A = this chain, B = another copy of it.
């Protein structure tokens, strides 16, 4: 049996870039609880160095292949890479995630590319929290860039993508109106658009459609129009241009002060997410005797949900201290 290292030793190994320490730390993170919290508390001062890049897009758009190609581009530039693949649509770690692992396999022997799949455990909030913690751990281990790949383009993905400094939205030619309608939800979070599988029929049309949508979309003040790039990730075509676009985006974030604003926004969402978790735990805590009767009164329609929420919040600090 391997002895469990104390967090201090793990933190030291992490800072040295140990792949084994990273793997173990990520398992702690996934399990959650005080051990995970303690670990993040310790590594947090060493974070904030990596460029965190979110990759999202419809199922079948080839996100995993694209991430693999980007990871190779990063390796060719002497960088060590972290990849976090999250699947908020499935409560089970199932087929899609396994598929990702298999497709990622040709990178599995390179310790310079560390890939971790995460599926929902319980609420989405838990996954967002775990993904943010995993980014910190990879960051503390010197991984840069860190790719966060999410499945699908619903509200969940927007949530998780919001932990990234740069967001790449991947499209493919020839998907129907359904996908275009969904896309409205992620238009405003995209920093770079990529049309993958651009050797397929209809690629020019998809690129033109995207550019038209971007022209009509409401823009953040002072924001520039996101570039729309074409690539064929499976043949590694267009990857250098995408790499350059991401590097240019990071430069722009730094030059305009937007990087600091994004960091502040990420901190805001993360702190609030943790506060929500603490609150949910306190309410579910059986040692807290007042919650059950309070909720029973709501179920019996004797007390409104709003009044009960206020009552819970008012007594919270005593319960969490």
Contacts and interface: CB of A to CB of B under 8 A. Distances in A.
B316 A317 contact: yes
B272 A283 contact: yes
A296 B264 CA distance: 6
A312 B271 contact: yes
Interface in A59-114: 59-60, 88-92, 94-96
A304 B44 contact: yes
Contacts of A312: 271, 275
Interface string A190-201: 000000000000
Nearest to A49: B301
Interface string A172-214: 0000011001101100100000000000000000000000000
Contacts of A124: 155, 159
Contact of A91 (B48, B184, B263): B184
A236 to B, nearest CB: 26
A17 interface: no
A313 interface: yes
Contact of A89 (B60, B182, B298): B182
A174 B94 CA distance: 21
Given A275-B279, A275-B312, A267 B320 contact: no
Nearest to A268: B295
Contacts of A184: 90-92, 94
Interface of A: 37, 40-41, 44-45, 47-48, 59-60, 88-92, 94-96, 120, 124, 132, 152-156, 159, 177-178, 181-182, 184-185, 188, 260, 263-264, 266-268, 270-272, 274-276, 278-280, 283, 294-296, 298-299, 301-302, 304-310, 312-314, 316-317, 320-321
B313 A317 contact: yes
A260 B299 contact: yes
Contacts of A314: 317, 320-321
Given A155-B156, A275-B312, 14 more contacts: A40-B306, A89-B154, A124-B159, A260-B299, A267-B299, A270-B305, A271-B283, A271-B298, A271-B305, A271-B312, A276-B279, A278-B313, A313-B320, A317-B317
Contacts of A294: 271
A306 B184 CA distance: 33
A236 B159 CA distance: 39
Contacts of A271: 283, 294-295, 298, 305, 308-309, 312
